[in-house]
Amino acid sequence: MKFSLTWLKQYLETDATAEEVSAKLNAIGIEVEDLEDPAERLTGFRVAHVLTAAPHPDADRLQVLSVDTGEGAPLQVVCGAPNARAGMKGVLGLPGAVVPANGMVLRKSAIRGVESNGMMCSVRELELGDDHDGIIELPDDAPIGTSFTEYRSASPVFDVAITPNRPDCMGVYGIARDLAAAGLGTLKPLPLRDAPSSFPCPVEIRTDDPEGCPAFYGRVIRGVKNGASPDWMQATLREAGQRPISALVDITNFVMLGFGRPAHAYDLAKLSGAVVARRATDGEQVLALNEKTYTLDNSMTVIADDKGVHDIAGIMGGEDSGVTENTTDVLLEIAYFDPDRIGVTGRRLGLASDARTRFERGVDPAFLDDGLHLLTQLVLEICGGEASEVVRAGNPPSERKAVTYDPSLAERLGGVAIPEVEQKRILESLDFEVSDDWQVTVPLRRHDVEGAPDLVEEVVRIHGIDKVESVALPRADGVARPTATPQQVLERRLRRAAAARGLNEAVTWSFLPPAQADHFSPGDGGLWVLDNPISEDMKVMRPSLLPGLISAAKRNLDRGAAGLRLFEIGRSYLRADNGMSDERAILGVVLAGEKTPRGWASGRAIPFDAYDAKAEAEALLAAAGAPVDKLQVMGEAGPQFHPGQSATLRLGPKNVLARFGALHPRTLEEFDVEGPVVAVEIFLDAIPAKKGAPSFARAPYSPPALQSVLRDFAFLVDADLPAGDLLRAVKGADKANIVDARIFDNFRGQGVPEGKKSLAIEVTLQPGEASYTDEQIKAIADKVIAAAARQGAELRG
């Protein structure tokens, strides 16, 4: 929520600076996310007087102005604004000033051969509004040479984060109340002035849904003129991030932001019959002010007349009854809606608004009359007209909670000793009523206060959270036991291993666009779709880590990165058959672009391929403690992968530990990435845990006493036999003596029959207590040949 220091001081009598206010807000638990001083953005802009205006000698639409800045000789400025003329006063940006709208640095330059010393500025260029038809025109009494920030009295703007439990601070007046309680000034009384009623209200107002709308107040003001709102109100709303629209709309926004009280204005001429708060009927539709049509159901509260729905109650008004510049009679509506009903309706419709944010957190039910009075007096002062009597339908909640409080709780729960007198002062300054026996009556607007601990929070934060002393938690003597779970230990180890291999860690969203999620879905409708997403492009929980990594790779490639090695450890989310969430811990890797840049040796750049993906998968599985030497390479990596350049790593035929390979061209097309791109997905929960207690210590290195023995074998096998199958059989031929085996040659050609290939394997034998004899080596070789024969291999002669 944004507001200016000037607006705050309308309700708080204080001499505090913006920095002091910011520090105090943080101290009392209202986090200041940003403090912006518009004066800094408008440095270098001055009030200037146009002395003369002559046509440009070489451009029909340009003029050459002589401008008095109040210092020295007039400056020559080239200007193309249609309203530029001699005698007017405007805003001149001097050389060196930065235009807020586009960041352009102004310089002395020649425009069509004529020197120009700066720029006469429009409203849009200084980000003071949307008008760009001409340059700013200031009143005749504007002092020449004055800094524009000083002339405009630009005020620092706070951007604060209001937690959901503090709806009372969703208005500037509520924040002023907290600051006054914290001793930063004095809270001014509500700016209520006389707003007499002149005639009976000509519209019947009632509530037929007392559960959804317990109270519905309204009155008519006739004879209004709905033009632009005053400059002070437009400036106040712009500083708060709101776009001024018209006087009537701006007034309702001003009251909502100033006092946390949403309201609505209807064009009376567009209403027919009684105005009623009621339940919608199934299928009923309304065209909202955002120009979207919403289909309603009977769980939703609406404001309607005899013709139909005009307002999604507490969330957004309708287009059909909205006020325009031609509105002359207006119905002001202010109501209390059930917070739960507002929240459910907003989520079902996927509709968010400033009004919904306040109503679903709970507005002050005691502020209906005062809120309507404030609206009325502002309309009468700005738009004119006369007001009818107020119609009050229903009754807002009026029962106040009473809480028994013990002042010693402040020290016991809050960790700070505060005198009872000070605690009582704090509570009463926040409008709590405190009796002599510490029975505390809670204001109606404080929906968050339910018990004594909540009162401790109020007392401690106003006293100053920074005054709570830091105290270390008790700790037992001796060496602390490990607190990380085996899963956390595994993930930390894998992060170090991946980084050591040159991979860069990425952290991507857990939400995906529907199309990307569908592309990686298991195909059985197991995706989780959010009812209330942060955006339409982030509405499906990710079924895999690869979509986020592929998108991250695309962003980097589009920005000129030559080669990328990204990894992420996170969770995938699928809907299980029983309706519960099926979450898996996954390590994802994406390799894209160039593996090796072009050079004198290789010539062209070398891209990543499926073998690079396999190498990463095996290395990371080894780091995770998986029995890599026992893994089988099998197909079926999934439709997202290229069928001829991908595979899975399995421990047995069913336990898939990882899938890897080049991504399918359709996948690259879906993500708009130029290939090739290879990827790895390791399923951490599929890696079997080691038997026995986990050991965090590295085993001592003990080299064998005797030298190892190498033996080479060459086998003829079918051309389609996976080399890994033969290698695995050779390794298992004699586990007591064979410690390693590797393929060092794969040959097809002269001397090898058609449909066959020659695989040469180097086998490492490790003797134990004595060196091998020739007979022992021959026996081992016979076992190797026999194991290979079971795979259909024949020893080459």
Q: What is the mean pLDDT of residues 423-451?
A: 95
Q: Provide the pLDDT confidence category of residue 197 given band limits of 50, 70 and 90.
A: confident
- Domain 197-394, CATH class in plain words: alpha beta
Do 175 and 160 meet the contact criterion of CB atoms below 8 Å apart?
yes
CA 57 centroid distance within chain: 53
Burial (0-12, 13-18, 19+ Cβ within 10 Å), 61: exposed
Residue 577 labelled as part of a binding site = no
Q: What is the mean pLDDT of the chain?
A: 91
Write out pLDDT tens, residues 359-389.
Answer: 999 999 999 999 999 999 999 999 999 999 9
pLDDT at 701: 77
Query: Is the per-residue pLDDT at 697 higher than 60?
Result: no
Write out pLDDT tens, residues 331-342.
Answer: 999 999 999 999
Do 611 and 678 meet the contact criterion of CB atoms below 8 Å apart?
no
pLDDT at 192: 87
Evaluate whether the domain defined by 486-686 bears CATH number 3.40.50.11030. no
Among 165, 188, 157, CA closest to 30: 165
pLDDT at 471: 86
Evaluate whether the domain defined by 402-467 bears CATH number 3.30.56.10. yes
Write out pLDDT tens, residues 105-151.
Answer: 999 999 999 999 999 999 888 877 777 789 999 988 889 998 888 88
Residue 775 labelled as part of a binding site = no
Do 640 and 522 meet the contact criterion of CB atoms below 8 Å apart?
no
Do 224 and 329 meet the contact criterion of CB atoms below 8 Å apart?
yes
240 vs 228: CA distance, rounded Å: 18
Do 297 and 280 meet the contact criterion of CB atoms below 8 Å apart?
yes
Write out pLDDT tens, residues 75-94.
Answer: 999 999 999 999 999 999 99
Q: What is the mean pLDDT of residues 382-399?
A: 94
Residue 448 labelled as part of a binding site = yes
* Residue, of 422 and 700, whose pLDDT is higher: 422
* Residue, of 728 and 568, whose pLDDT is higher: 568
Query: Is the per-residue pLDDT at 238 higher than 90?
Result: no
Do 663 and 612 meet the contact criterion of CB atoms below 8 Å apart?
no
Sign of CA dihedral 641, 646, 652, 655: negative
Query: Is the per-residue pLDDT at 696 higher than 60?
Result: no
Write out pLDDT tens, residues 592-614.
Answer: 999 988 888 777 888 999 999 99
151 vs 131: CA distance, rounded Å: 20
Query: Is the per-residue pLDDT at 533 higher than 90?
Result: no
pLDDT at 48: 94
Write out pLDDT tens, residues 542-586.
Answer: 999 999 999 999 999 999 999 999 999 999 999 887 778 889 999
Pick left, alpha or beta for residue 448 (phi over 0 → left; psi -120 to 50 → alpha; otherwise beta): alpha
Q: What is the mean pLDDT of residues 784-789?
A: 94
Query: Is the per-residue pLDDT at 694 higher than 70?
Result: no
Q: What is the mean pLDDT of residues 28-57?
A: 89
Is 486-686 in the same CATH topology as 2-37+156-187? no
pLDDT at 790: 92
Spatial CB neighbours of 29, under 8 Å, sequence gap ≥ 6: 163, 461, 465
% pLDDT > 70, the chain: 98
Domain 709-795: which topology? Alpha-Beta Plaits (3.30.70)
Write out pLDDT tens, residues 657-676.
Answer: 999 999 999 999 999 998 78
Q: Is 290 helix (H, G, I), strand (E, B) or coil?
A: coil
Task: Note the CATH number of domain 40-152.
Answer: 2.40.50.140
pTM, 2 dp: 0.67
591 vs 566: CA distance, rounded Å: 6
Residue 458 labelled as part of a binding site = yes
Say which residue the tokens 């001014």 belong to: 188
Find residue 711's DSSP bridge partners: 763
Q: Is 137 helix (H, G, I), strand (E, B) or coil?
A: coil
Q: Which of 53-67, 218-232, 521-535, 715-729 has the lowest mean pLDDT?
A: 521-535
Domain 2-37+156-187: which topology? Phenylalanyl-tRNA Synthetase; Chain B, domain 1 (3.30.56)
Domain ranges of the chain: 2-37+156-187, 40-152, 197-394, 402-467, 486-686, 709-795
